């Protein structure tokens, strides 16, 4: 039965506080909106000069001064970007052991010790029971670090507001969608067909949330683009203040020059569309049993002129705004001008209040269990006192009766009890002594460890790995769209190992001349030196092993096999510095990296499985199937080969459910599987096609002698014209400090 008390759903976002008060009318079986409040912050919380704690405290104080909440229940929302949501499929398990299995899975899925987080779980729909076992059970695990939960709760506790429910925003969006649009009750009745999914796109100030559901299954992802990104684009392109840019963004069609406004916003529109397409595309790739039939936009950021039409045209799906609440009554609230103007920002508050009333399938909460337990005990305390008093009267009467019957002194049982007590005290003293001894050893070891690491704040190793990453070739510009693996500038690194050498010169002298010659030829071309002097002293010897498929043959020289390595990674490892695309400069040889040599390589021809063009066109989204791509490109791949961490975790979970793919390895290709990857017992996928390509496996060694920042030379001693730092206009070779190698 729904809760009849009034429930406040409160969300505190980056831009302001949104609160909606709902009450269930039993006679009409209707949810009624009986109050609301919208309190914008004086500044966006993410602005550099804003103090979030003070702004949030001011908003809560203003809310409490304008609204009476005594006797009402309070449910608050937690930000999606600070929370963790994972959806896993359990193996066949007995009903009584689901909690035990979920706790084990939580330890694997939550990247923090369970003692440091508040977490809860819920079994979702789609499971069945057979022979006492639950089959195909899907479970959602939701968590947030304890310090973040308590920080969100602190301003309410300071104002003596008792919070009954703490829920992450994406699940509140699910409660809103399921109840208001899909007509799904708390027990799941009245849901849509299982293959029809609806996506909710909630645009906040700095983040957006994508929540996809068919009423039974839920999928969540955060997008790092929000309304403020559009505002900042206007401040940058049109030289406006933040306040003026925000006003112009919301009233673009009424501006004197709408075309220039939309031209300034176009790059952000495209970035936002790309993130949405990537998210929905990945969802489609891992949920082949259904399709998204509609997108619902909410959040005040979705009020931006032209955004709805832009998404609808490019997503090839209907996109509508949450400009009305279909299952909510209460004309006084729903027709209020302030509520109508900001209605799309109340979806989270609506969902929170629905769960607080018991009208949502979601039952989880991240309210600290100790607070919930203390509150439950306080509520039951009057009944407990009455029960205790009754038991005390009965015990007193019983004691009087036994005392009258037991008038003789009986010392034997007492003496036996004393002996047992003495034995226990002796054991206890032994335990105390053992604990004190162990505690002393622990404190001594702790002090020794503190002395060993005191004052160490060396980040040179991080700088080294950044430099190594910048030496790897990558596609840029239009080359990012290249799908032929033999034309892509990618190298797959399998292992990176390091060994401390006392005499680097001895290692270099043992190398064959055929190994040294290519490196010395590159050095001669770059710096004009006949040969490199052997390294001296101690340092680290690094070994990289990997492979590449780059193979372009031409009339003026072949860009294949070992030649590709000589044109890309080896010159970069010899460079004094390397300039990145964003203008920053990374030290290479200036950091101490030198003497790269190819110590082993081999070439062969292999068969790769790749998606057919027909299948790519059908999917509508440029998302690669990671399940069959252990060395290929990955969904969520960003420019330069890096991977979206959140989508990577989702892919690892998907491989854990299906058993496909293999862990490990650094694949930077484009969706290919060496050798076909079909296996003797698995038929080849009819949606894949086989291609024969050239593969080169290699091993590269180089030296690193860590050079602290204060000891690094400012000018490359090997560069031409190192003395005057000028550029030779005749041969066009770069001077010291600017030599970045050939990529």
Residue 344, token pair as written in the block: 């799309």
Give the pLDDT band of residue 457 (cuts 50, 70, 90). Answer: low
Interval 448-474 mean pLDDT? 81
pLDDT tens for residues 660-693?
Answer: 333 333 333 333 334 443 444 445 556 667 889 9
pLDDT band at 286 (very low <50, low <70, confident <90, very high): confident
* Long-range contacts of the stretch 483-486 (C-beta < 8 A, 24+): 483/670, 485/549, 485/608, 485/610, 485/669, 485/670, 485/672, 485/693, 486/549, 486/550, 486/551, 486/552, 486/693, 486/694
Report the phi/psi class of residue 620: left, alpha or beta, with left for phi > 0 and alpha for psi in -120 to 50. Answer: left
Asked if residue 607 lies in contact with residue 675, where contact means CB atoms within 8 angstroms, the answer is: yes
Q: How far is CA 355 from CA 165, 330, 360, 361, in A?
A: 8, 19, 5, 8
Q: What is the pTM of this model?
A: 0.54
Instruction: Kindly list the distances between the CA atom of residue 648 and the CA atoms of 635, 655, 741, in Å, as whole numbers in the listed order.
Output: 8, 11, 32
pLDDT at residue 94 in the model: 86
Dmax (CA) of the chain:
121
CA dist 636 → 226, 381, 644 (Å): 19, 53, 5
On the question of pLDDT at 200 being above 90, the answer is yes
Mean pLDDT for 257-269 is: 87
CB 227 within 8 A of CB 308: no
| pLDDT bucket at 733, cuts 50 / 70 / 90 | very low
- For the stretch 179-188, what's the b/e string if a residue is b when 16 or more beta carbons lie within 10 angstroms of its beta carbon? bbbbebebee
Hey, which residues does 74 pair with through a beta bridge? 8
Task: Give one DSSP letter per residue of 241-266, joined into a string.
Answer: -HHHHHHHHHTGGGSS-HHHHHHHHH
- pLDDT for 74 equals 96
Are 161 and 280 in contact, with CB atoms under 8 Å apart?
no
Do residues 7 and 23 lie in contact, with contact meaning Cβ atoms separated by under 8 Å?
yes
Burial string for 347-386 (b: 16+ CB within 10 Å, else e) reads bbbbbbbbbbbebbbbebbbbbeeeeeeeeeeeeeeeeee
The band of 540, judged by pLDDT with boundaries at 50, 70 and 90, is very high
pLDDT at 261: 85
Sequence-distant (6+) residues with CB within 8 A of 211 are 170, 173, 174, 177, 199, 200, 202, 218, 219, 220
List, for residues 113-139, the tens digit of each pLDDT value. Answer: 999 999 999 988 767 777 778 887 889
d(CA 199, CA 192): 14
CA distances from 278 to 172, 289, 586, 622, 623 (A): 23, 19, 31, 7, 7
Q: What is the CA radius of gyration of the chain?
A: 33
- Angle, helices 645-658/258-286, rounded to nearest 10 degrees: 20
- CA separation for the pair 360, 593 (Å, rounded): 59
Residue 743 is predicted with a pLDDT of 32
Hey, which of 97-106, 192-201, 521-530 has the most confident mean pLDDT?
Answer: 97-106
Sort residue 594 into left (φ over 0), alpha (ψ -120 to 50) or beta. Answer: beta
């Amino acid at each position: 039965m729904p809760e009849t008390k009034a429930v406040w759903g409160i969300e505190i976002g980056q831009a302001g506080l949104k609160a909606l008060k709902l009450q269930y009318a039993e006679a009409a079986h209707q949810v009624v909106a009986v109050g609301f409040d919208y309190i914008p912050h004086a500044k966006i919380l993410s602005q550099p000069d804003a103090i979030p704690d003070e702004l949030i405290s001011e908003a809560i104080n203003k809310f409490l001064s304008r609204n009476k909440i005594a006797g009402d229940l309070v449910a608050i929302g937690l930000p999606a970007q600070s929370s963790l949501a994972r959806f896993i499929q359990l193996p066949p398990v007995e009903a009584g052991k689901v909690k035990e299995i979920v706790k084990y899975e939580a330890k694997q899925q939550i990247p923090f010790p369970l003692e440091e987080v508040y977490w809860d779980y819920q079994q979702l729909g789609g499971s069945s029971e057979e022979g006492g076992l639950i089959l195909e059970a899907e479970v959602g695990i939701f968590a947030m670090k304890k310090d973040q939960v308590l920080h969100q709760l602190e301003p309410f506790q300071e104002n003596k507001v008792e919070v009954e429910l703490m829920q992450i925003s994406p699940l509140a969006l699910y409660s809103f969608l399921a109840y208001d649009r899909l007509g799904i009750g708390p027990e799941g009745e009245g849901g849509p067909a299982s293959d029809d999914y609806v996506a909710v796109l909630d645009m906040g100030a700095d983040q957006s949330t994508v929540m996809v559901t068919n009423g039974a299954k839920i999928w969540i992802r955060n997008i790092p683009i929000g309304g403020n990104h559009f505002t900042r684009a206007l401040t940058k392109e049109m030289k406006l203040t933040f306040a003026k840019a925000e006003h112009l963004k919301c009233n673009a069609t009424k501006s004197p020059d709408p075309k220039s406004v939309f031209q300034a916003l176009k790059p952000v529109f495209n970035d936002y569309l790309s993130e949405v397409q990537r998210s929905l595309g990945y969802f489609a790739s891992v949920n082949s049993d259904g399709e998204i039939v509609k997108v619902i936009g909410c959040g005040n950021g979705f009020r931006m002129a032209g955004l709805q039409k832009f998404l609808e045209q490019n997503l090839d799906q209907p996109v509508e705004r949450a400009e009305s609440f279909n299952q909510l009554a209460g004309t006084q609230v729903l027709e209020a001008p302030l509520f109508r103007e900001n209605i799309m920002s109340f979806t989270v508050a609506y969902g929170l209040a629905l769960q607080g009333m018991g009208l949502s399938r979601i039952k989880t909460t991240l309210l600290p269990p100790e607070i919930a337990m203390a509150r439950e005990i306080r509520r039951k305390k009057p009944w407990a006192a009455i029960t205790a008093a009754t038991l005390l009267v009965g015990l007193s009467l019983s004691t009087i009766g036994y005392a009258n019957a037991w008038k003789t002194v009986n010392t034997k049982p007492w003496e036996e009890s004393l002996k047992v007590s003495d034995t226990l005290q002796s054991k206890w003293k032994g335990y105390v002594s053992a604990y004190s001894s162990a505690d002393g050893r622990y404190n001594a070891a702790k002090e020794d460890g503190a002395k060993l690491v005191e004052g160490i704040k060396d980040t040179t190793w991080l700088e080294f790995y950044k430099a190594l990453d910048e030496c790897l070739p990558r596609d840029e510009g239009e080359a990012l769209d290249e799908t032929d693996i033999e034309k892509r500038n990618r190298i797959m690194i399998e292992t990176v190992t390091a060994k401390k050498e006392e005499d680097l010169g001895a290692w270099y002298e043992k190398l064959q001349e055929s190994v040294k010659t290519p490196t010395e030829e590159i050095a001669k071309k770059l710096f004009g030196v006949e040969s490199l002097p052997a390294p001296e002293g101690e340092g680290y010897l690094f070994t990289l092993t990997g492979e590449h498929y780059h193979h372009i043959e031409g009339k003026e020289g072949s860009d294949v096999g070992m030649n590709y390595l000589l044109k890309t990674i080896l010159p970069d490892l010899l460079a004094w510095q390397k300039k990145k695309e964003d203008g920053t400069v990374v030290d290479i040889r200036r950091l101490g990296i030198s003497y790269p040599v190819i110590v082993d390589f081999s070439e062969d021809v292999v068969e790769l499985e790749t998606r057919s063009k027909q299948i790519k066109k059908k999917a509508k989204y440029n998302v690669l199937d990671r399940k069959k791509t252990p060395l290929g490109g990955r969904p969520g791949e960003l420019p330069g080969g890096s991977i979206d961490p959140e989508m990577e975790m989702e892919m690892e979970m998907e491989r854990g459910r299906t058993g496909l793919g293999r862990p490990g390895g650094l694949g930077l290709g484009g969706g290919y599987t060496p050798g076909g990857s079909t296996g003797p017992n698995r038929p080849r996928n009819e949606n894949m096609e086989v291609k024969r390509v050239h593969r080169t496996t290699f091993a590269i060694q180089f030296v690193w002698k860590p050079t602290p920042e204060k000891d690094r030379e400012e000018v490359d001693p090997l560069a031409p014209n190192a003395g005057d730092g000028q550029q030779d206009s005749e041969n066009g070779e770069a001077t010291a400090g600017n030599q970045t190698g050939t990529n």
